[in-house]
Homo-oligomer: A and B are copies of this chain.
Amino acid sequence: MKPINVGLLGIGTVGGGTFTVLERNADEIARRAGREIRITTVADRNIERAREVAGDSAGQIKFTDDAFAVVRDPDVDIVVELIGGYTVAKDLVLAAIENGKHVVTANKALLAVHGNAIFAAARRREVMVAFEAAVAGGIPIIKALREGLSANRIQWVAGIINGTTNFILSEMRDKGLPFADVLKEAQRLGYAEADPTFDIEGVDAAHKATIMSAIAFGIPMQFDKAHVEGISKLDAVDIAYAEQLGYRIKLLGIARRREQGVELRVHPTLIPARRLLANVEGAMNAVVVQGDAVGATLYYGKGAGAEPTASAVIADLVDITRLHTADPEHRVPHLAFQPDQVRDIPVLPIEETITSYYLRLRVVDKPGVLADITRILADSDISIDAMIQKEPGEGESQTDIIILTHQTVEKNANAAIAKIEALATVQGKVTRLRLETL
């Protein structure tokens, strides 16, 4: 059978990995796909570097610095977009679709923000847009959610979906170091970028959680409604206290179905230390999916890097290779649900979230302090699950109280915390982290 011709936009880390793996495993991949999949055109700003990456194969490939020429090239069957960002990438993907090309992309930002428009365009032109690489790198979580668990009413998805922050949190815990020191180390090791904002402030994880919420629940992408909180303000002392209470702190992306809508949130989260998810260390990723029939399933692997991400890009290429000449009705819907079955379920404001809390208070060591605090919680109908009161240090008059609560609605917790902060015996702000038992 005729080979499938791929046009590659961007031959950086992931593009280079895709090139390498497609070439190294050409035989194995063709044995599965039924035909050869080959990169015939590469667009990159740096043509010289692109030629170097292609090495001995450069002779059979067209190189250009004009990505728009690739998406118009009549010889290209599938466009792989690995440029990133929202602007040029968006124009290129839409142009590829208009030209009847199938698209594979690893661009979570693009899909979380402009996915609704992109998938609508793809439906009109009857082309596939595949994005396994956009969430959790090499872990086939999109396929699991969209196809493997299609029998289930999915109740929630919770994942460690940003390797940079998981590396930082693992190091903070292991070495007891503050965030800023570990971030510097992560940058030195290449686990964090020079401008780490998107990772450490939770934006990257929120992009991925948004995509998972859409295919889990059959709702549109609603990135602008996501609650996004990173780890840059996390204090090492809270990691240590959590540990004493049998919990680990992870940056989780969470999408949960509630009666009135969907929770979509990214924040540092206490989870029980005995859970597999709590034991995902370093830059690894893992996602837990709770379905009503299957219960909890977990998917674990490398969430980034050249070849792990290429693994997902190429799996999409194989899928499209099989189905590109098929009637669109034979294809899996882009977002798991049939396009006319996507439902406009709203993302709930964070104040409506239901979760448990870890509270750390700095208090004056006086009789009645604890009684005042527990009274406020009881009056707010918030049950206490565990508590530590530290003895004040030698010569100190203040001490820490740590409280773990049962589930409550966030606005209720906020009101109780405001009352606690107003107590004369409580110093400064209450540190509040969310806790999920999963």
Smallest distance from the beta carbon of A294 to chain B beta carbons, Å?
4
> What are 26 A-B residue pairs whose CB atoms fall within 8 Å in the complex?
A17-B293, A21-B292, A24-B153, A25-B151, A29-B150, A32-B336, A33-B150, A34-B333, A138-B291, A140-B143, A140-B147, A140-B148, A140-B297, A143-B144, A149-B311, A151-B314, A151-B315, A276-B276, A291-B311, A293-B311, A295-B301, A297-B301, A298-B299, A322-B330, A325-B330, A326-B327
Other-chain residue from B21, B34, B276, B330 in contact with A300 (beta carbon distance below 8 A): B276
Enumerate A7-38 residues with CB–CB distance to B below 8 Å: 17, 21-22, 24-25, 28-29, 31-34
Count of identical protomers in the assembly: 2
Give the docked Cα–Cα distance between A368 and B184 (Å).
54
Are A21 and B293 in contact, CB atoms less than 8 angstroms apart?
A: yes
Other-chain residue from B280, B322, B329 in contact with A34 (beta carbon distance below 8 A): B329
A: number of interface residues (CB 8 Å): 65
> Which of A206-214, A237-245, A302-310 lies at the interface?
A302-310
Are B293 and A301 in contact, CB atoms less than 8 angstroms apart?
A: no
Contacts of A21 in B (CB 8 A): 151-152, 292-293
Looking across the interface, which residue of chain B has its beta carbon closest to that of A331? B322
Are B150 and A32 in contact, CB atoms less than 8 angstroms apart?
A: yes
Are B31 and A310 in contact, CB atoms less than 8 angstroms apart?
A: no
Are A153 and B295 in contact, CB atoms less than 8 angstroms apart?
A: no
Looking across the interface, which residue of chain B has its beta carbon closest to that of A308? B294
Asked if A260 is at the interface (CB within 8 A of a chain B CB), the reply is no
Asked if A253 is at the interface (CB within 8 A of a chain B CB), the reply is no
Asked if A204 is at the interface (CB within 8 A of a chain B CB), the reply is no
Enumerate A309-342 residues with CB–CB distance to B below 8 Å: 310-315, 317-319, 322-323, 325-327, 329-333, 336-338, 341
Asked if A230 is at the interface (CB within 8 A of a chain B CB), the reply is no
Give the docked Cα–Cα distance between A200 and B299 (Å).
27
Asked if A57 is at the interface (CB within 8 A of a chain B CB), the reply is no
8 tightest CB-CB pairs across the interface, nearest first?
A: A140-B148, A151-B314, A297-B301, A138-B294, A31-B341, A294-B311, A298-B300, A326-B330
